[in-house]
Amino acid sequence: MKKIRILALVLALLLTASLAACAAKSSAPMAYDNTASAADNYKTEEASAEMPAEAPMMAEPESEWTENSITTQSYAEQSNAANEATDDAPTESLADKMIYSANLEIQTTEYDAAVAALEKAVQDFGGFVERSNTYGDIRRNDDGTSQVVNRYADYTVRIPASRFSEFLTQADGLGNVLSCNRYAENVTSQYTDYEARLSSLRTQEERLLSMLEKSDDVDSLIALEERLADVRYETESIERNLRNLDRQIAYSTVSVGLQEVEIYTPTKPVQRTFGEKMHDALSEGWSSFVRSLQYFLIDLTYSLPGLILFVLIVAAVIFVLLCIRRRVKAKKAAKKAAAEAAKQPPEQPDEKN
């Protein structure tokens, strides 16, 4: 009886051990599956995160990186850097970025002196001539000579922004100012956007370089280098735009048109009496008549050699025609005389008785 009890106890212990072993085997795969699922979820969250994780993470092999995950993370880093730049920006207002420009139309009776004065003023103010064009008409004078009149100079100059107003004040002394238009453009918002974008791209470039150093997988290296090339291209483009804005902000653009005239156009209406108007009409009429007569005589003198040759040719032709006509008339007269002589009867001899 005692042996039976001992045997039953041993069988119970063996049965308990078997059940425990089976339970351990079945729970091990479940634990492994839960661990793998958690790791997969962690990788997915890391690739699609909007901000880079700062908490300690499980080390992953570099072969798990793909082009899509790199692009997504780079854009997330860019957004994060932009937000950081916005948060760290000073609260006080920045100085406005202004671009100034102006257009001037000026009449001058001393064209050469005005052009020289304009170029000297640009040099004295520390600016430079960006573009210049000169036009003019050819006029023939009464003495037969020709000269260029009604000249017009079109200048585009760049002046330091700090001396923009001072230059316009001095340019008014070049002659009779017909028009002066000033413009101002505020590019502060555009400039600030460029700077924020540039800061974000530089931060993104640094992180891509760090990832490039740690990556050993070929596909990851190619994807990282492509994204890095795009970031650097955008960086260069924004830097070029910022340099262009800096030049426009530092140097204002002034367009100056210089027109050569004999008499200034009145900028204010002038009241004239009837006698003054009559005097001006007679004076202008007489001047026009004398000028027309002079032009006629000059043109006649130019044409005189041709006229003389033409007259000589016409005279020669008339002389030849007259000679031919005389010969024809002489022949006709001779024939007529011969015919009349033939019609007369012969004379009879007188008979002598």
Give tens-digit pLDDT for 199-242.
Answer: 999 999 999 998 988 888 888 889 988 999 999 999 999 999 99
Asked whether the beta carbons of 255 and 156 are under 8 A apart, the reply is yes
Mean pLDDT of 255-272: 83
At residue 9, does pLDDT exceed 90? no
DSSP strand pairing (251-260 vs 98-108): parallel
pLDDT tens-digit profile of 308-331?
A: 999 999 999 999 999 998 888 888
Distance CA 271, CA 3 (A): 149
Give kind and range of the element (H or E) at residue 170.
Answer: helix 164-171
Mean pLDDT of 23-52: 38
Asked whether the beta carbons of 67 and 218 are under 8 A apart, the reply is no
At residue 165, does pLDDT exceed 90? yes
Q: pTM (2 decimals)?
A: 0.53
> How long is the chain?
353
Asked whether the beta carbons of 91 and 245 are under 8 A apart, the reply is no
Of 11-15, 160-164, 344-348, the range with the lowest mean pLDDT is: 11-15
Q: What is the mean pLDDT of the chain?
A: 76
Query: What's the order of all strands across the beta sheet hosting 128-140?
Result: 128-140, 146-160, 251-260, 98-108, 176-186
Residue 286 to residues 26, 82, 266, 277, Cα–Cα distance (Å):
127, 80, 25, 14
